[in-house]
Amino acid sequence: MTTPNFTVPQPLQPQHSGGSDKSHRSATSGHQAPILSRRSSVINAQIDTNTIGTPDPQEGRPRMHKRSLTGNYYPNGSDPAQSTWPIGDEKTWKDALAADEEKDTDTVTRHVVHHVSTTLARQAFNLDDAGAYRACAFSVRDELIRRWNATTSYHTAKAPKRAYYLSLEFLMGRSLDNAVLNLGMKDMVAQAMGRLGFSFEDLLDEERDAGLGNGGLGRLAACYMDSSATLNLPVFGYGLRYDYGIFKQLIDENGKQLEAPDSWLQEGSPWEIERPDIAYKVRFFGNVEWNDGKAYWWGGQEVIAKAYDVPIPGWKTKNINNLRLWSAKPIGGFDLQASYCSFNAGDYEKAVAASQSAETITRVLYPNDNTYQGKELRLKQQYFWCSASLQDIIRRFKKLDLPMTSLPDFVAIQLNDTHPTIAMPELQRVLVDEEEMEFEQAWEIVCKVFSYTNHTVLPEALETWPVPLFQSLLPRHLSIIYDINSRFLHDVSQRFPGERERIRRMSLIEESEPKRVRMALLACMSHKVNGVAELHSGLVKSVLFKDQVEFYGPDKFMNVTNGITPRRFVHQANPELSNLITQCIGTEDWLKDLSLLKKFEPFAQNPQVRKSFQAIKERNKLRLAEIVENELGIVLDPTAMFTVQAKRIHEYKRQSLNILGCIHRYLKIKQTPKAERRNICPHVAFFAGKSAPGYYIAKTMIQLINNVARVVNEDPEVGDLFKIVFIPDYSVSIAELLMASRKPAADVSVQISTAGTEASGTGNMKLAVSGALLLGTVDGANVEIAEEAGEEQCFLFGYLAEDVDEVRYQNQFNPSPIEQRSQACANAIQAVRSGMFGSGDYNPFLDTITEHGDYWLVSNDFDSYLEAERLCDEMFMKNHAEWIVKSMLTTSRMGKFSSDRAVAQYAEEIWNIEPEPVPEK
Cβ atoms of 421 and 481 closer than 8 Å? no
Residue 745: enclosing H or E segment and its boundaries? none
Note the Cα 137 to chain centre separation in Å: 22
User: Residue 71 class from Cβ within 10 Å (0-12 exposed, 13-18 middle, 19+ buried)?
Assistant: middle
Q: How far, CA to CA in Å, does 57 sit from each of 60, 279, 332, 823?
A: 6, 20, 21, 74
Rg (C-alpha) for the chain, rounded Å, is 29
The set of residues, in sequence order, having a beta carbon less than 8 Å from that of 13 and lying 6+ positions away, is 73, 74, 75, 80, 83, 85, 86
Question: Does residue 514 have a cis bond before it (omega within 30 degrees)?
Answer: yes
Catalytic residue among 762, 777, 890, 891: 762
Catalytic residue among 567, 568, 766, 886: 766
The set of residues, in sequence order, having a beta carbon less than 8 Å from that of 773 and lying 6+ positions away, is 747, 748, 749, 793, 794, 795, 872, 883, 886, 887, 890
Catalytic residue among 329, 378, 455, 621: 455
Cβ atoms of 751 and 761 closer than 8 Å? yes
d(CA 699, CA 696): 5
Catalytic residue among 155, 283, 324, 647: 647
Task: Give the three-state DSSP class for 695.
Answer: coil
Q: Which residues pair with 281 in a beta bridge?
A: 304
Catalytic residue at 528?
Answer: no
d(CA 760, CA 563): 10
b/e per residue, 335-372, with b = 16+ CB within 10 A? bbbbbbebbeeeeeeebbebbebbebbbbbbbbbeeee
Please report how many Cα atoms fall inside a 13 Å half-sphere around the Cα of residue 471, on the Cβ side. 8
d(CA 7, CA 734): 36
Cβ atoms of 474 and 386 closer than 8 Å? no
Nearest to 102 by CA among 115, 91, 93, 92: 115
Please calculate the CA angle 907-910-915 and round it to the nearest 5 degrees.
Answer: 20
User: Residue 321 class from Cβ within 10 Å (0-12 exposed, 13-18 middle, 19+ buried)?
Assistant: buried
482: number of Cβ within 10 Å: 14
Catalytic residue at 621?
Answer: no
Q: Name the strands in the sheet holding 509-510, side by side, starting at the edge strand that comes first in the sequence.
A: 464-466, 516-518, 509-510
Cβ atoms of 499 and 446 closer than 8 Å? no
Catalytic residue at 536?
Answer: no
66: number of Cβ within 10 Å: 7
User: Residue 743 class from Cβ within 10 Å (0-12 exposed, 13-18 middle, 19+ buried)?
Assistant: buried
| DSSP-derived secondary structure for 332-358 | GGTTHHHHHHHHHTT-HHHHHHHHHHH
Kindly give the pairing relationship between strand 722-727 and strand 683-688.
Answer: parallel
- CA distance from start to end of the chain: 23
Catalytic residue among 568, 653, 683, 821: 653
User: Residue 401 class from Cβ within 10 Å (0-12 exposed, 13-18 middle, 19+ buried)?
Assistant: exposed
Catalytic residue at 22?
Answer: no
The set of residues, in sequence order, having a beta carbon less than 8 Å from that of 552 and lying 6+ positions away, is 524
In 434-567, which ranges are E strands? 450-453, 464-466, 509-510, 516-518, 529-531, 557-559
Task: Give the three-state DSSP class for 511.
Answer: coil
555: number of Cβ within 10 Å: 8
Catalytic residue among 592, 648, 665, 699: 648
The set of residues, in sequence order, having a beta carbon less than 8 Å from that of 267 and lying 6+ positions away, is 130, 134
User: Which active-site residues does the annotation give?
Assistant: 455, 647-648, 653, 762, 766
